[in-house]
């Protein structure tokens, strides 16, 4: 691996623990104003110092994030359809030049395995990796977004493996039963998305299960920013991911912050 690529990757997944807590706040790119992110600057500013990496669009970055932060950035570079349309109709919307200008440590896009335009999204991933490799820019591939996807180990394992084979350097997917099988079949680090808001203890349990099954961390959004204590939740997730805290210990961190 080239120095630049390796260096950027280690900013996203710090070598100290080999794990990461990415904060996903890109939801508006297809959902519009999302619960918990309506006033995005107010929502994310207190969370940023607790994240290893911020997963964000360029619009939010320019308008709502202080450029003096030292948290690394991973830039969402795909888009196209809104939540009202066919989600798999995505294309690349942000150039590599723009990612470099914004000092991104990585770029991310979705692939839609099994959906109407799976072939186009997978080919888009290939093209993005071709360009990214030229500049030493890691690519995060996001799999299994979409209502009708069966989120079991067979489907997620297939989607993650395809993403890695096409050249993704990190894969983001959902947690499922038998998650170790998904990890086993994927030669690059996997981080889990949190998915829809769960009660805090359940979200922490899911985090612990994923880490124990071999995940390299989380790229979590709603279960943090929609919590009644977003800072408490991100600290609790961090404790599990980086310190091997139990769910009870992590829940205590969340509860104390809430008080």
Spell 202-229 as b/e; 16+ CB within 10 A means b: ebbbbbbbbbebebbbbbbbbbbbbbeb
Taking CB under 6 A as the binding criterion, the range among 23-31, 125-133, 153-161, 246-254 that sits at the site for ligand R5P is 23-31
Counting DSSP H helices and E strands in the chain, the numbers are 12, 10
- Smallest distance, ligand R5P to C-beta of residue 33, A: 14
How much of the chain is in helix, strand and coil states, percent to nearest 5? Answer: 45, 15, 40
Q: What residues pair up with 21 in beta bridges, in sequence order? A: 218
Task: Show contacts with ligand R5P in window 90-119 (CB under 6 A).
Answer: none
The binder of ligand R5P chosen from 72, 157, 194, 230 (CB under 6 A): 194
Binding mask 145-184 for ligand R5P (x = CB under 6 A): x---------------------------------------
Q: In the annotation, is 196 catalytic?
A: no
Write the CA distances from 33 to 26, 44, 100, integer angstroms: 10, 14, 27
Identify the active-site residue in 6, 19, 172, 212: 172
Q: Which region among 46-54, 99-107, 122-130, 191-199 touches ligand R5P (by CB under 6 A)?
A: 191-199
Give the whole-angstrom CA distance, residue 159 versus residue 171.
9
Q: How far apart are CA 72 and CA 86, in angstroms?
A: 31
Q: For residues 52-91, which are near ligand R5P according to CB under 6 A?
A: 55
x-or-dash string of contact with ligand R5P, 195-234, rule CB under 6 A: x-----------------------xxxxx-----------
Binder among 13, 19, 23, 26 for ligand R5P (CB under 6 A): 26
Binding to ligand R5P in span 133-152, by CB under 6 A: 142, 145
Q: Let me know: does 65 contact 37? Beta carbons within 8 Å.
A: no
Q: What residues contact 243, with CB distance under 8 A and at least 6 apart? A: none
Give the chain's length.
Answer: 259
Beta carbon nearer to ligand R5P, 4 or 33: 33
Nearer to ligand R5P, 24 or 183 (CB): 24
- The catalytic residues are 172
Binding site for ligand R5P (CB under 6 A): 24, 26-27, 55, 142, 145, 193-195, 219-223
């Amino acid at each position: 691996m080239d120095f630049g690529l390796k260096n950027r990757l280690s900013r996203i997944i710090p070598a100290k623990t080999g794990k990461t807590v990415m904060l996903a706040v890109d939801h508006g790119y297809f959902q519009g104003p999302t619960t918990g992110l309506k006033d995005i600057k107010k929502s994310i500013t207190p969370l940023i110092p607790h994240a290893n990496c911020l997963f964000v669009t360029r619009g939010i970055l320019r308008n709502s994030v202080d450029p003096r932060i030292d948290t690394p950035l991973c830039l969402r570079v795909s888009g196209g359809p809104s939540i009202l349309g066919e989600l798999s109709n995505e294309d690349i919307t942000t150039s590599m030049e723009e990612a470099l200008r914004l000092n991104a440590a990585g770029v991310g896009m979705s692939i839609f395995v099994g959906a109407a335009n799976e072939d186009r999204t997978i080919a888009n991933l290939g093209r993005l990796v071709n360009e990214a490799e030229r500049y030493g820019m890691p690519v995060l591939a996001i799999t299994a977004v979409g209502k009708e996807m069966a989120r079991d180990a067979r489907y997620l394992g297939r989607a993650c493996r395809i993403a890695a084979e096409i050249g993704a350097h990190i894969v983001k997917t959902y947690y499922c039963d038998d998650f170790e099988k998904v990890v086993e079949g994927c030669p690059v680090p996997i981080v889990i998305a949190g998915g829809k808001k769960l009660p805090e203890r359940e979200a922490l349990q899911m985090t612990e299960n994923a880490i124990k099954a071999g995940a390299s961390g989380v790229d979590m959004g709603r279960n943090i920013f929609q919590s009644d204590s977003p800072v408490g939740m991100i600290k609790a997730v961090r404790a599990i991911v980086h310190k091997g805290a139990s769910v009870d210990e992590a829940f205590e961190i969340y509860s104390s912050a809430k008080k």
